[in-house]
Amino acid sequence: MNANLFSRLFADLKDPNKLAIETSDGRRASYADLIAQSGRMANYLVARGVKTGDRVAVQAEKSVPALVLYLATVRAGAVYLPLNTAYTLNELEYFITDAEPSLIVCDPSKADGIGAIAAKVNAKVDTLDATGKGSLTDGAATQGHEFATVQRSDGDLGAILYTSGTTGRSKGAMLTHDNLASNSLMLVDYWRFTENDVLIHALPIYHTHGLFVASNVTLFARASMIFLDKFDAAQVLGLMPRATALMGVPTFYVRLLQQPGLTREATKHMRVFISGSAPLLADTHREWSARTGHGILERYGMTETNMNTSNPYEGDRVPGAVGFPLPGVSVRISDPETGKDLGRESIGMIEVKGPNVFKGYWRMPDKTKAEFRDDGFFVTGDLGKIDARGYVHILGRGKDLVISGGFNVYPKEIESEIDALPGVIESAVIGVPHADFGEGVTAVVVKDKQAPLDETAVMKALDGRLAKFKMPKKVIFVDDLPRNTMGKVQKNILRDTYAKIYAGK
């Protein structure tokens, strides 16, 4: 059997004419169309000199041809390397010289700048614009659609995705054909996807969430997706009567809740709402249930591991928890220093092992070695615990842990207390250098404009609810928290912004 992800994705197709993707401007592609188009594009890639194992780096706007390029690259036995569309030429230089792709596909507006970088690694350049036009699709159109999918085995590389790199350099996570196929196939079952599903796809396709979770799950299920260039709450709400599933980052749900039209009636055709990539506030979960009657299904994953845990499809979807280890995935909580398994109800480092876990970081053997335990568990860098019922809870990234006066302070615990105060929309707790304490617990809070809330009121409300060492030394009010495109709060930016607030103390 060919373990190529492409072969597995399209094996045993019962109805080739089934709709796979439609776009908001009315374009439609069936499963047969995706196979034919990926065949033409794979032939073109080969004609451009792309060989088995070569990297194809892509910085392109979301479009059906961009997704076809992903399928064609994998089909041709090459390694798909998507890049965030926000990266500047300066940032791209690092990725391109590190990955040494043989072909780079980019927006025509960037072709000159990228051309200069490409020359350094002898890569060719093709263009693809937001409407799916460019030298890539022109070239593919001249090719035949028959293409013999290149033979690959489970452990061969299918993709490299660079991590967002908020601490130090971005690392290329090497994902194998089986990492991707096995995880998506399992999710189809776990989340009960079938050919009757219609997914609203409003995520970018350069990240694991939109590319692998959303697209691969839809295709494996023989379902269809409505491809949107970007998330627009009113548009997404308007599509719900003819869709069944939404996969989103928490910001999607927060914005949808601001739509007065979000009601039980408006969501009654929907089967499941899934959230991930950043913590979903327990309040958002509860408010969503009250408004729509649906419990958001929160799951936890990362670029390096695909999906690790999920709340159950049937059974309690617990607000603030990321659910159970997925079938085949082992999760344990360890002492960050010794690696000792801490068991249930203890806070420590989340470690995972399973067919979902990546092969290592591209050309970083030492970094790879440092992040795996001897028995094969990957150290995620997330702090968390497993409760008595087996639900996993995330308490923040290890690097966001605050150590004040020698005591560990888990930001999530303080944030949950602050978020529960009337008038608070959300908060982020960070550690800021402090002469006496090492780090001073600092709360950055977004409140309702009208709420009569100030620093003293927050402190007073927390007093008695939190041990003294966990109490914020300062509460700062802001209009918004800085977020990246996947909705993650960028605590590194907050730490930089407030680095000096305790200076001289």
Number of Cβ within a 10 Å radius of residue 146: 10
Query: CA-CA distances (angstroms) from residue 55 to 42, 103, 140, 154?
Result: 13, 7, 18, 18
Window 366-395: residues binding ligand AMP (CB under 6 A): 380, 382, 394
Instruction: Tell me 164's DSSP state.
Output: -
Q: What is the nearest approach in angstroms of ligand AMP to the Cβ of residue 382?
A: 5
Q: Which is nearer to ligand AMP, 300 or 502 (CB)?
A: 300
Query: CA-CA distances (angstroms) from residue 467 to 119, 394, 436?
Result: 58, 21, 18
Q: Does 426 bind ligand AMP (CB under 6 A)?
A: no
SS3 content of the chain, % helix, strand, coil (to 5): 30, 25, 45
Q: What is the nearest approach in angstroms of ligand AMP to the Cβ of residue 287?
A: 17
When binding is defined by CB under 6 A, the residue of 302, 352, 445, 453 that contacts ligand AMP is 302
For ligand AMP, how many residues bind (rule: CB under 6 A)? 18
Q: Does 164 bind ligand AMP (CB under 6 A)?
A: yes
Range in contact with ligand AMP (rule: CB under 6 A) among 24-32, 226-234, 301-309, 385-393:
301-309
Edge-to-edge strand list for the sheet holding 378-386: 330-334, 348-353, 378-386, 392-397
Helices (H), 135-268: 135-141, 177-190, 208, 217-221, 233-239, 250-257
Q: What is the nearest approach in angstroms of ligand AMP to the Cβ of residue 209?
A: 6
The dihedrals phi and psi of 213, each to the nearest 5 degrees, come to: -65, -60
Give the pair of three-digit tokens for residue 398: 């290890």
Q: Does 357 bind ligand AMP (CB under 6 A)?
A: no
- Give the CB-side neighbour count of residue 259, counting CA atoms within 13 A: 20
Number of Cβ within a 10 Å radius of residue 442: 25
Q: What is the nearest approach in angstroms of ligand AMP to the Cβ of residue 396?
A: 8
Q: What is the nearest approach in angstroms of ligand AMP to the Cβ of residue 454?
A: 29
Element at 239 (helix H, strand E): helix 233-239
Task: For 287-309, give the DSSP string.
Answer: HHHHHHS---EEEEEETTTEEEE
Range in contact with ligand AMP (rule: CB under 6 A) among 109-117, 152-160, 294-302, 493-501:
294-302
Element at 225 (helix H, strand E): strand 224-227
Q: Which is nearer to ligand AMP, 34 or 486 (CB)?
A: 486
When binding is defined by CB under 6 A, the residue of 191, 193, 300, 502 that contacts ligand AMP is 300
Give the pair of three-digit tokens for residue 240: 């719900």
Q: Does 276 bind ligand AMP (CB under 6 A)?
A: yes
Range in contact with ligand AMP (rule: CB under 6 A) among 296-304, 361-369, 426-434, 469-477:
296-304
Window 463-492: residues binding ligand AMP (CB under 6 A): 486
Check if the beta carbon of residue 110 is closer than 8 Å to that of residue 132. Answer: no
Q: Does 336 bind ligand AMP (CB under 6 A)?
A: no
Range in contact with ligand AMP (rule: CB under 6 A) among 80-88, 271-279, 311-319, 331-339:
271-279
Number of Cβ within a 10 Å radius of residue 272: 18
Q: Does 303 bind ligand AMP (CB under 6 A)?
A: yes
Q: Does 279 bind ligand AMP (CB under 6 A)?
A: yes
Q: Which is nearer to ligand AMP, 54 or 351 (CB)?
A: 351
Strands 172-176 and 157-162, sheet pairing: antiparallel
Binding mask 176-215 for ligand AMP (x = CB under 6 A): --------------------------------x-------
Q: What is the nearest approach in angstroms of ligand AMP to the Cβ of residue 120?
A: 28
Q: Which is nearer to ligand AMP, 4 or 176 (CB)?
A: 176
Window 394-413: residues binding ligand AMP (CB under 6 A): 394, 397
Q: What is the nearest approach in angstroms of ligand AMP to the Cβ of residue 157?
A: 18
- Three-state SS annotation for 144-155: CCCCCCCCCCCC
Element at 185 (helix H, strand E): helix 177-190
Q: What is the nearest approach in angstroms of ligand AMP to the Cβ of residue 8?
A: 23
Q: Which residues does residue 463 pair with via DSSP β-bridges, in sequence order?
A: 466
Range in contact with ligand AMP (rule: CB under 6 A) among 129-137, 174-182, 224-232, 272-280:
272-280
Q: Does 170 bind ligand AMP (CB under 6 A)?
A: no
Among 31, 95, 368, residue whose Cα is nearest residue 223: 31
Residues making contact with ligand AMP (CB under 6 A)? 163-164, 208, 276-279, 298, 300-303, 322, 380, 382, 394, 397, 486
